[in-house]
Amino acid sequence: MKNVLASRLLPLFLIALFLPRPALYASSEGYEQMDFGVRAAKKGLWREALFRWERASKLLPDNARILNNLAVAYETAGEFEKAQAMYQEALRLAPDNRDIRQNHILFEAYYKDLLARKEHDEDRASPPPTPDSGKEPEKEPPDAPPH
């Protein structure tokens, strides 16, 4: 029985033994930063959450959950281009993640509507073209009587 248990645990022990310590630390630190960011976001402290998730993403760059959280934080901060990039990267890493996909769909609808409203407001702010715009005003003939 001891030999069977030892033969099963030995590979796991060897893997843990040869894992680089900085990688273990970075992983642990990355998850701590992610959790800290979640707690900050739940309190409405979005700048703190964004800071923590940016740190976590540097430690765990391929973690789709962190990228999704970053996208939500960027969206909340009004940094829509960054949010869009983070959602796309998160979906690239986890295309089947229902939560990330749903967040992205909601964001895309909101962002599309926002851009359409902005374009509409810009169109309303500029004066409409006049029928004679682009033409020089007509000159009175030289022999016309003064007004």
| Summary mean pLDDT of the chain | 81
Quick one: pLDDT band at residue 14, thresholds 50, 70, 90?
Answer: very low
Q: Is 80:60 a contact under the CB 8 Å cutoff? A: no
What is the Cα–Cα distance from 14 to 27, expressed in whole angstroms?
Answer: 19
Whether 101 is in a domain gets the answer: yes
Whether 16 is in a domain gets the answer: no
* SS3 at position 53: helix
CATH code: domain of residue 88 = 1.25.40.10
Whether 27 is in a domain gets the answer: yes
Percent of the chain with pLDDT over 90: 61
Site of tokens 């993403």? 57
Phi, psi torsion values for 68, nearest 5 degrees: -65, -45
Per-residue pLDDT, 143: 57
Whether 44 is in a domain gets the answer: yes
Whether 97 is in a domain gets the answer: yes
Mean pLDDT, residues 31-45: 96
Range of the domain at 110: 21-124
What is the Cα–Cα distance from 34 to 139, expressed in whole angstroms?
Answer: 72
Per-residue pLDDT, 11: 53
Number of domains within the chain? 1
Output Rg (C-alpha) for the chain, integer angstroms: 29
Whether 145 is in a domain gets the answer: no
What is the Cα–Cα distance from 51 to 54, expressed in whole angstroms?
Answer: 5
- CA nearest to 63, candidates 94, 39, 105: 94
The mean-pLDDT minimum among 9-23, 69-83, 118-132 falls in 9-23
Whether 2 is in a domain gets the answer: no
What is the Cα–Cα distance from 113 to 75, expressed in whole angstroms?
Answer: 14
Whether 139 is in a domain gets the answer: no
Site of tokens 């959280």? 69
